[in-house]
Amino acid sequence: MNATTTRGALLAALACVLVGGSFTANSVLGDYPYAGGQFLRYGLACLLLVPLAGKGAAARLRALTPRQWVRLALLAAVGMVGFNLAVIAAERTAEPAVPGVFVGCAPVVVAVLVPLLDGRRPQRAVLHGALLVAVGAFAVQGWGRTDGAGLAFSVCALAGEVGFAVLAVPVLRPLGPRLLSATVCAVAALESAVAGVPADGTGWLRRPDAVEASALLWQAVVVTVVGFVCWYMGMQRIGAERATLFSGLIPVAAACTAPLVGTGSYGLAQAAGSALVGLGVALGSGALTLPGRGGPSVIASTGRTPPAATFRGKGRPEERGDAVSGMPE
């Protein structure tokens, strides 16, 4: 791994650790209106991100095509608002480990889906690493009580996690991590308001108490502003396939922080699962090469795409969303 891919891996890892550590904040927002909480979280995050978007942000937004705006709306609806709603809905009839296990399968889905959309075969090292990450995530969380509705909403949560990475690929290049994060937060806040009014009426937004306000501030400032920018900066450097491997760190971080607040324990199963996640990330990211397999691919070792003539897929690299250097940040 060179400096570019190493930095990308560290950024993706930091983003996922922040998300995993945020589960404690989620636990104190159970009585706060869902849509209102999402509106405050993403609205505040957008206000904080706009000054960081850089020069020419307005011009870059005006240059987006209607299709790209639709993709941004889907990214916010599926990967942000929809994902959080699916997790909450799943946990009504299922233990939290159930949606967590499904979300832990996201690296496998992305490792297969992104190459297929690119017109190329999945990379064996990435796929093997993703499988190890999924097994490790299962070991960390275990399996819990559920029913049909819990399973269905857990599948929706998996779709949201996958969509958060895959839908962002074609718009990451023209917008860059900061402007992309600011834009989808603005769209998500608007979608939350539109959903909240018919769902909860005038009670969709209320003044949070001190504990709820602290949790919302943590989610907005740390998880959304810092986490989203780090995630997309990491994805920009190492690609969606490898960045999603680090989502296996989400349950690991949650398991490590749970004992601090008395909501769980960290035992032998969690330690073994954490080791599997680490091994899967190292293998899939190219940091670890199995004997007899040779070195990592061009993308794995450099974070850059090879010349266009070497691709079987059609279209320019930016249309396919390949990981390239020189993108705006």
- Other C-beta atoms lying within 10 Å of the C-beta of residue 66: 7
Residue 268's contacts (CB-CB under 8 Å, 6 or more residues apart) are none
Report helix, strand and coil shares of the chain as percent, to nearest 5. Answer: 75, 0, 25
Closest CA to 106 of 88, 86, 89, 91: 86
In the chain, the amino acid numbered 191 is E
Please state whether the predicted TM-score (pTM) of the whole model is above 0.85: no
pLDDT in tens, 247-298: 888 777 777 766 665 556 677 877 888 888 888 888 887 776 655 544 444 3
Residue 104 has pLDDT above 50, yes or no: yes
Q: Calculate the CA dihedral of residues 152, 154, 155, 160 and round it to 10 degrees.
A: 130
pLDDT in tens, 36-94: 999 999 999 999 999 998 889 999 999 999 999 999 999 999 999 998 888 888 878 87
Structural contact between residues 178 and 49, judged by C-beta atoms closer than 8 angstroms: yes
Spatial distance between the Cα atoms of 123 and 111, rounded to a whole number of angstroms: 8
Tokens of 76: 């916010």
Spatial distance between the Cα atoms of 323 and 318, rounded to a whole number of angstroms: 9
pLDDT at residue 1, rounded to an integer: 64
Q: CB-side exposure of 183: number of CA atoms within 13 Å?
A: 27
pLDDT in tens, 163-190: 998 999 999 999 999 999 999 999 999 9
- Other C-beta atoms lying within 10 Å of the C-beta of residue 39: 23
